[in-house]
Amino acid sequence: SWTPESFIQSSIESLRRKIGVEKVVLGLSGGVDSTVTAVLLSEAIGDQLHCIFVNNGLLRKNEFQNVLHQYRDMGLNVKGVDASERFLEALRGVTDPEQKRKIIGRLFIEVFDEEAHKIEDVSFLAQGTIYPDVIESASVAGPSSTIKSHHNVGGLPDVMKLKVVEPLRMLFKDEVRRVGAALGIPDELLGRHPFPGPGLAIRILGEVTPEKVALVQEADYIFINGLKEERLYDHVWQAGAILLDSRSVGVMGDERTYEYVVALRAVHSTDGMTADWVHLPYEFLARISNQIINRVPGVNRVVYDISSKPPATIEWE
């Protein structure tokens, strides 16, 4: 019968056989799949594995530094690449959600390809593809979080020509988590909510600016931290803050304000295909709303999204 230990053992053997003394490059995202892929490969081939973690400037507050440290603590051979300015520059003036996704996807490949070129004689591209992604890519375009699905962007980047290793491609998500736990990956990393590849760009409605990124990062941080403090985080499938592109009137002291609206979203789901909004306690929502309005300059109103999927989607863009 299948156990995480037997899977790890047989994977290590077959990865060593397949890779030999060659080098492998892997893009880490902070997510569960790429992290488990990296640790498994690292067990098999050590520092022949070269990981690249790109900061697109659209991650959660402090996420890049925190996750980079966690990766290093786990002994991974990882290079952090801060490309924030490049992404934010490319997004300037762009308001269409699909356009944002395309720009971010293309730039990610560009940055990743540049970094992969700096590693001499790399032969393999590792990816955190899991079984549901395999099924999905047989029918539609494939998981948007993996590199291969972006290959229809102009000429084929060199990383696309590498041989592919996908050690998790026969596993379901819960099996990936069990393998991760057996590999000693901290629960904090394994229990992380899903986060979209385009990051906060699709949680800022309309144009993305550095100021808006900072604002939504603060609001999101207060919300997510609150969920953790109240031990609600693990009971929620995904959560985050969204910055609306319109402002509303408020009042502070004797003065009228005209500031941004933040929407909070928290859903239950099993695969993201359908989702129900979470009935978070009113007292909790009240506290988070107060904290956001008091601590995040530029926000005077917080609303809670009570729509389920379908017909609403989880993300607002």
246 is in an annotated binding site: no
CB contact at 8 A, 111 and 99: no
Q: Does 270 bind ligand XMP (CB under 6 A)?
A: no
Is the CB of residue 102 less than 8 Å from the CB of residue 146? no
Minimum distance from residue 219 beta carbon to ligand XMP (Å): 17
The reply on whether position 198 binds ligand XMP by CB under 6 A is: yes
**Contact set for ligand XMP, span 35-94 (CB under 6 A):** none
**Is 32 annotated as a binding-site member?**
yes
Q: Which stretch binds ligand XMP (CB under 6 A): 111-119, 151-159, 195-203, 255-263?
A: 195-203
Question: In the beta sheet, which residues pair with residue 82?
Answer: 55
Going by C-beta distance under 8 Å and a sequence separation of 6 or more, which residues neighbour residue 103?
Answer: 87, 90, 91, 94
Query: Binding site annotation covers 31?
Result: yes
Task: Tell me which residue of 298, 300, 305, 171 sits closest to 238, measured CA to CA.
Answer: 305
Considering only residues 120-179, where is the footprint of ligand XMP by CB under 6 A?
A: 144-145
> Does the annotation place 6 within a ligand binding site?
no
Q: Site residues for ligand XMP, window 273-312 (CB under 6 A)?
A: 309
Q: Would you count residue 16 as binding ligand XMP (CB under 6 A)?
A: no
Nearest approach in angstroms of CB 100 to ligand XMP is 9
Rule CB under 6 A: choose which of 4, 80, 132, 194 binds ligand XMP. Answer: 194
Kindly state the smallest distance separating residue 240's Cβ from ligand XMP, in Å.
8
Which tokens in the block code for residue 86?
Answer: 């490049």
Q: Which CB contacts under 8 angstroms, 24+ apart, belong to 312-316?
A: 314/238, 314/265, 314/267, 314/269, 314/272, 314/275, 315/196, 315/202, 315/203, 316/202, 316/203, 316/205, 316/242, 316/263, 316/265
In the complex with ligand XMP, which residue's Cβ is closer, 293 or 314?
314
Question: How far is the CA of 205 from the CAs of 24, 57, 212, 246, 256, in angstroms?
Answer: 37, 16, 10, 9, 24
Contact between 101 and ligand XMP by CB under 6 A: the answer reads yes
Flag whether 33 is marked binding. Answer: yes
Q: Does 123 appear as a known binding residue?
A: no
Least gap, CB of 196 to ligand XMP (angstroms): 3
Q: Binding site for ATP, residues?
A: 29-35
The residues binding ligand XMP (CB under 6 A) are 101, 144-145, 194, 196-198, 238, 272, 309, 313-315
